[in-house]
Every structure is written in structure tokens, then in C-alpha cells.
């Protein structure tokens, strides 16, 4: 009886403690996290995705007691898609606003501009979608996009592995690419990888980013008649090439697009079975990763409410969320806001994120290449390779 009384008291105390913890509001001076985003200018469409993700994460973070028990304040400025302004605003965040921590801007050029400032002031910089790992030479920068240190080699191998496992492995390849830096260097790597794997290159050509005339490119591909086309496309270039090929009644047996605009491509009928790169899609096993399901649900709702063109979570939104997860993990584990302490911890630990476990102990602080191959199937994107990341029951479809 006496034991039961103690047990009840202990239980009540425990419940009260848990209740208190659950409802504890962060207190004290805020932890100030600074970043810029391309909220206006040519990169604004993606910049708005990162802004929405950041807003969601900070709300969630503050709802679970902030960082170190202190509220989190996110100071985000509009770099207008300009490198020089991004650089200037990071200097302001560090020397005037005196933020505690930094998060990166979007995209590669702006991240490099911000990285130079961070390096000058010995600030850690966690960034979302930096496309060229070899340029990330600062030892306190950490990528949230798990490309691996050499995506020009590893990722083409992933794609060709997927095709090799298909019922009709390609024997010939055409590589066509935009001269956009972050897709061009992977396309060049794909040529080398294909050659080493014994594929015969029947066509290579490139075009200037901003090109709108894809008819001649489509005709050249049709003439070459490859088994597989690697398209170094970014944004709407993929859709434009697909439309051009449709006009000449041509469809490659297999086709891969590096970084297409995911929404427009999945909606295009001619994109059936098209392949692309991703780090996250809205299905298992990704939804089993920590925080993924809740984030996807919230993002879908908020993106629709904000009027974003594409409300699905894929590479950009996932990398953005991952960056915040990395930051939170390091601060929580070290109970520190010291950049060097945080950086040292990240270099020696892995972080559970919605795209999987990330490590930062490789060249340029990159870890594993977690890029996946997804495919348009029945009007939706599904990951088809590698098998452990594939959607339940999904397999690579061939024409």
C-alpha cells in the first residue's frame, strides 16, 4: 500500500515534470540566426521555398523550447539574387546585426560569396543547395545537400547502375547539357563515366543557359538515336527539350534530366518515364526519416496557402529543412553557439535528417552521395534507385 502511494506520487511528479517540459516556452535573449535568400530577382521562385521552410522550422523549433532553451530569431534578408549584395548583407549580419549563427543563401554563386565572408570572420556556414563541392574550400562550411565530394563521378554511376539493372541496359549514350555550372560539370563527368563503363557516346553538345531554341538540339538527338540521353538541364530547360522532341515525334528510349523544375516536368505527358536526380520524395522510406512526415504535411499546406507553384517537398525544400536540422543537432549536442565548437562536432558526428544520415568528414566536408534516381510514373515522381531508397514496389520503367 505504502509502495503504491509512493508510486502514485512519483507518477504524478513525473507527469507534472513532463507537462511542464512540454509546455515550457523558451526564454532569455533569442538565439539569432542570420541568412539571406533570393526573395526577389531571377532566383526568387526557389528562394521563396527556402523562406517558407525556414519559417516552418523556426516555428517548430520555438515550439519545442528553441535552442538551448532560448527562443530562435531568424533574420533573413533579400539578396535580390545578386552575389555582391549577398556578400554585403552577410557582412552586415556578422558585423552589425551580430547574429549568433549563419545559414546559407541560395544558390551556388551567392553561397560562395557568403562563404568568403564567413571565412573572413571565422563563422560556420551551413548551406542548402550548393552545386559544385570542389569549390567549397572553407573548412567551416557544411553542405545540407548530400552530393558527396565528387558527384561528377558518383552520381553518373548511380544513374548508369540503375539503367544497367533495367530490362534494357543502354549501349549508346548522348550527353547534352546546358552550360550552367552546376549541371555542366556533372554532365562532363557522365561522359567519362559512360566511357569507362563501355557505353558508346554517339552525341555530345551543349548550349548556353538561357537558350530557348531546342528544336535543333532535339533533331540532333533524334539523328544520333541513342539508347539513353543524359540531359544536363536545369529548371524549365528539361520541359523545353521534351516539347521540342515531341514536335518531331521523337522520344528517347531512356532519358535523364539533372535538375528539372519538378512540378512542370511531372505534369508534362511527354515526360513519361523521364528520370531525374533527387534527395527526397514524398513517400517511404523518406517519410520514415525523423520529422519528415510532419514537415511534408505542414509544407504542403503552407505552400498551397502561400500560392507556391509546386507544393511538394523535393530536393530544394528537403535540403533547406536539412540545413536547419544540422544546425539544431550541433547546437543541441554541444550546448554551444561557438562556431568552432559546432564545426568540430559536425566533422566528427553524423546527423539524422529527413534525407538520411549525413556525415561531414570527407573532402570539402562532404560525406556520402545520397543522390537518388527518380522517375515520372503515373503522373508522379517516385524514387526507383537505389533499391533501398525506392518507393515501395517501384521499379525503373523502360519505354
Question: Where in 9-68 is the site for another protein (CB under 8 A)?
Answer: 36, 39-40
The answer to whether 213 contacts another protein (rule: CB under 8 A) is no
DSSP conformation letters of 120-149: HTT--EEES--S-GGG---TTEEESS---S
The answer to whether 92 contacts another protein (rule: CB under 8 A) is yes
The nearest distance, CB 207 to another protein, in angstroms, is 10
Q: Which of 30, 68, 91, 169 binds another protein (CB under 8 A)?
A: 91
How far is residue 24's CA from residue 44's CA, in Å, rounded to a whole number? 36
CB 281 within 8 Å of CB 391: yes
The answer to whether 87 contacts another protein (rule: CB under 8 A) is yes
Q: Which of 88, 157, 334, 350 binds another protein (CB under 8 A)?
A: 88
Q: Which helix (H) or strand (E) covers residue 331, if one does?
A: helix 315-334
The nearest distance, CB 83 to another protein, in angstroms, is 4
Q: Which of 21, 95, 348, 399 binds another protein (CB under 8 A)?
A: 95
Q: Which of 26, 71, 109, 235 binds another protein (CB under 8 A)?
A: 109
The answer to whether 348 contacts another protein (rule: CB under 8 A) is no
Q: Decide whether 188 or 333 has the Cβ nearer to another protein.
A: 188
The nearest distance, CB 36 to another protein, in angstroms, is 8
Q: Which of 96, 269, 388, 392 binds another protein (CB under 8 A)?
A: 96
CB 54 within 8 Å of CB 328: no
Q: Which helix (H) or strand (E) covers residue 220, if one does?
A: helix 215-224
Record the cell numbers describing residue 325, joined without a space: 536540422
Query: Which residues in 214-241 are b (16+ Cβ under 10 Å) and which e?
Result: beebbeebbebebbbbbbbbbbebbbbb
Q: Which stretch binds another protein (CB under 8 A): 176-184, 189-197, 354-362, 370-378?
A: 176-184
The nearest distance, CB 98 to another protein, in angstroms, is 9
CB 273 within 8 Å of CB 399: yes
How far is residue 11's CA from residue 13's CA, in Å, rounded to a whole number? 5
Q: Which of 57, 106, 145, 180 binds another protein (CB under 8 A)?
A: 180
Record the cell numbers describing residue 186, joined without a space: 556533372
DSSP state, residue 70? B
Q: Which residues bind another protein (CB under 8 A)?
A: 36, 39-40, 77-80, 83-85, 87-89, 91-92, 94-96, 108-109, 112-113, 116, 120, 132, 135, 137, 179-181, 184-185, 206, 208-210
Amino acid at each position: 500500500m505504502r509502495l503504491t502511494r509512493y508510486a502514485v506520487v512519483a507518477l504524478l511528479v513525473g507527469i507534472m515534470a513532463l507537462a511542464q517540459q512540454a509546455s515550457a516556452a523558451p526564454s532569455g535573449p533569442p538565439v539569432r540566426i542570420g541568412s539571406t535568400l533570393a526573395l526577389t530577382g531571377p532566383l526568387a521562385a526557389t528562394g521563396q521555398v527556402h523562406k517558407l521552410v525556414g519559417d516552418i522550422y523556426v516555428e517548430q523549433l520555438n515550439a519545442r523550447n528553441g535552442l538551448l532553451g532560448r527562443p530562435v530569431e531568424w533574420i533573413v534578408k533579400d539578396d535580390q539574387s545578386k552575389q555582391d549584395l549577398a556578400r554585403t548583407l552577410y557582412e552586415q549580419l556578422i558585423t552589425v546585426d551580430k547574429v549568433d549563427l549563419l545559414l546559407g543563401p541560395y544558390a551556388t554563386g551567392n553561397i560562395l560569396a557568403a562563404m568568403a565572408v564567413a571565412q573572413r570572420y571565422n563563422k560556420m556556414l551551413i548551406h542548402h543547395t550548393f552545386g559544385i563541392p570542389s569549390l567549397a574550400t572553407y573548412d567551416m562550411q557544411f553542405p545540407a545537400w548530400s552530393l558527396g565530394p565528387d558527384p561528377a563521378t558518383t552520381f553518373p554511376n548511380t544513374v548508369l547502375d540503375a539503367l544497367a539493372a533495367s530490362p534494357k541496359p543502354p549501349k549508346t549514350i548522348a550527353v547534352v547539357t546546358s552550360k550552367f555550372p552546376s549541371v555542366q560539370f556533372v554532365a562532363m563527368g557522365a561522359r567519362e563515366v559512360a566511357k569507362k563503363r563501355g557505353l558508346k557516346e554517339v552525341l555530345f553538345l551543349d548550349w548556353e543557359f538561357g537558350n530557348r531554341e531546342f528544336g535543333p538540339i532535339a533533331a540532333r538527338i533524334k539523328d544520333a538515336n541513342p539508347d539513353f540521353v543524359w540531359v544536363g538541364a536545369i529548371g524549365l530547360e528539361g520541359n523545353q527539350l521534351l516539347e521540342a522532341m515531341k514536335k518531331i515525334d521523337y522520344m528517347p528510349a531512356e532519358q535523364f534530366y539533372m535538375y528539372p523544375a519538378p512540378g512542370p516536368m511531372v505534369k508534362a505527358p511527354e515526360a513519361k518515364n523521364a528520370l531525374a536526380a533527387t534527395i527526397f520524395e514524398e513517400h517511404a522510406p523518406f517519410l520514415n526519416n525523423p520529422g519528415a512526415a510532419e514537415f511534408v504535411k505542414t509544407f504542403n499546406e503552407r505552400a498551397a496557402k502561400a500560392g507556391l507553384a509546386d507544393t511538394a517537398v523535393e530536393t530544394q525544400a528537403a535540403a533547406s529543412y536539412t540545413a536547419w536540422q544540422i544546425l539544431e543537432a550541433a547546437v543541441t549536442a554541444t550546448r554551444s553557439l561557438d562556431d568552432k565548437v559546432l564545426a568540430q562536432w559536425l566533422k566528427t558526428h553524423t546527423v539524422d535528417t529527413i534525407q538520411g544520415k549525413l556525415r561531414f568528414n570527407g573532402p570539402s566536408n562532404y560525406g556520402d552521395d545520397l543522390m537518388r534516381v527518380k522517375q515520372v510514373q503515373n503522373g508522379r515522381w517516385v524514387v526507383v534507385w537505389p533499391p533501398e531508397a525506392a518507393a515501395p514496389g517501384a521499379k525503373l520503367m523502360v519505354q
